[in-house]
Structure 1
Amino acid sequence: MVELFQDGGWAMWPLLILLIIGVAVAIERLFNLSRSSIDAANFFANLEETFANEGPDAAAELCSQTRGPVASVIHAGIYHVEKAIDNSGAVEMAFLERGMVWLSTVANLAPMIGFLGTVSGMINAFQAIKEAGDVEPSMVAGGISEALITTASGLIVGILIQFCYNFCANRIDKIIADMTEQTARA
């Protein structure tokens, strides 16, 4: 693995940095999104029962004890319904979408840097041919190897991070849909 990294040339360093950034952001997003998920329908049923039987203070307490954006939005809206729900919903959506631009950027940049490494490797291969005058396969093999390694590495990083981005975006969409559905019932 280390040999492949070294054979990939200079482009492997930015790819490694992008991989580290992408994985760190993906782990943070997956952790926070998993903490944000609740059974919104069940929560709302409990909330309605609590509100009807014990009043708004008990309902607010239930919301504050329940994690996730759905509970936060409802908590904000218990006393000042319309404005509070709109404001709180915007804040929660921003929290959910935090870091997603980094995942998207890494997923898009990694293949481009890989292809830039490909161009660099091919330039090195042709430079070796130019300097030698006589073409031997071993002269160009290093440059071609560098080109292929950086292409593959860029694509692997891009595909991995794009998968994480899509997974997180899907989770965010589901949470937002739950928030919208449940707050419309409020």
Structure 2
Amino acid sequence: MTLLFEQITDTAHKLIDTAKTAGQQVAADHEIRFGDLLVKGGWVMVPIGILALLGLVIFFERYFTIRKASKDDSNLMIQVRGSILSGNLESAKAICRNSNTPLGRMLQKGLLRIGRPIKDIEGAIENVGKLEVSKLDKNIGILGIVAGIAPMFGFLGTIIGVIKIFYDISETGNLSIGVISGGLYVKMITSAAGLMVGIVAYVGYHILNIMVEKVILRLETDAIEFIDLLEEPSK
């Protein structure tokens, strides 16, 4: 009875080991298949991959740049206000110059125009503001182009896959799944990859635009506050 139990136990351990080995092999096969699927997408996957890399680089570079520009400048306004009210314009200019922010550069230009009509000061601040916004918008348009082009490459891959299917059928005269699978791979993989890259780029494009709009609103608000501050002594 003991011998029978030991044999059953050994058999069970062997089955468990076999199952683990099979599971590891299946997992390895899945990893290999995923890489193979990307390769089977054909040459169209190369431009799609380049667009994906380009989109990611632009998004993260712009994201951190805009985020830096959108940091809270309330302390800057407080310091500039105090210096202006105390009549120390040189200190206010130094504070703006050392801040190295879009708002600081706008206020510095306004301080350099003090003594001229308010309209001239407003115009100078507005011009600097436009330059700062154009710097923030740099390359965001390229991300929008990526969002439009990537799905087109996916559609191109779909057309190439269909052509490959009909070509393989005409060459072999066979409608089996093995014959048409090559074209199906190209068709489905490139379509999915192109759409995925396009969707991600589209979302990133609008996220960056929303961030820029928030920065513009804050700059306009602070600029109006600065002009009101300059008009106070004359009231």
Q: Aligning the two structures, in what range does the TM-score lie when normalised by the shorter sequence?
A: over 0.9
* 2:206 is the counterpart of 1:166: yes
Partner of 1:61: 94
1:42 deviates by: 4.2
Partner of 1:8: 41
* 2:69 is the counterpart of 1:36: yes
Once the two structures are superposed, the pairs formed by residues 92-131 of structure 1 within 5 Å of their partners are 92-131=132-171
Under a length normalisation based on structure 1, what TM-score does the superposition of the two structures give? 0.93
* 2:213 is the counterpart of 1:180: no
- Number of aligned residues: 186
| Structure 1: gaps of 5 or more residues | none
Identity across aligned pairs (percent)? 30
Q: C-alpha separation between the residues in 1 aligned to 2:208 and 2:124?
A: 26
Larger radius of gyration: 2
1:92 deviates by: 0.5
SS of residue paired to 1:78: helix
SS of residue paired to 1:10: coil
User: Residue 19 of structure 1 is aligned with which of 52, 56, 71?
Assistant: 52
The letter for the 2-side match of 1:83 is: G
Q: C-alpha separation between the residues in 2 aligned to 1:146 and 1:92?
A: 45
**What CA deviation, in whole Å up to 9, does each residue of 1:29-61 have, x standing for no partner?**
012112211224443233212321352211111
Under a length normalisation based on structure 2, what TM-score does the superposition of the two structures give? 0.74
CA contact (8 A) 1:70 1:178 kept: no
CA contact (8 A) 1:35 1:67 kept: no
Q: C-alpha separation between the residues in 2 aligned to 1:39 and 1:146?
A: 49
CA contact (8 A) 1:25 1:103 kept: yes
**What CA deviation, in whole Å up to 9, does each residue of 1:98-125 have, x standing for no partner?**
0111111111111111111111111111
Q: C-alpha separation between the residues in 1 aligned to 2:84 and 2:204?
A: 39
1:136 deviates by: 0.8
Partner of 2:104: 71
Q: C-alpha separation between the residues in 1 aligned to 2:189 and 2:138?
A: 32
Partner of 2:190: 150
Q: C-alpha separation between the residues in 2 aligned to 1:154 and 1:106?
A: 10
Bigger relative contact order, structure 1 or 2 (CA pairs below 8 A, ≥6 apart): 1
1:79 deviates by: 2.2
**What CA deviation, in whole Å up to 9, does each residue of 1:59-114 have, x standing for no partner?**
11111122321221111111222232122111101101101111111111111111
Cα-Cα RMSD: 1.5
Partner of 2:25: none
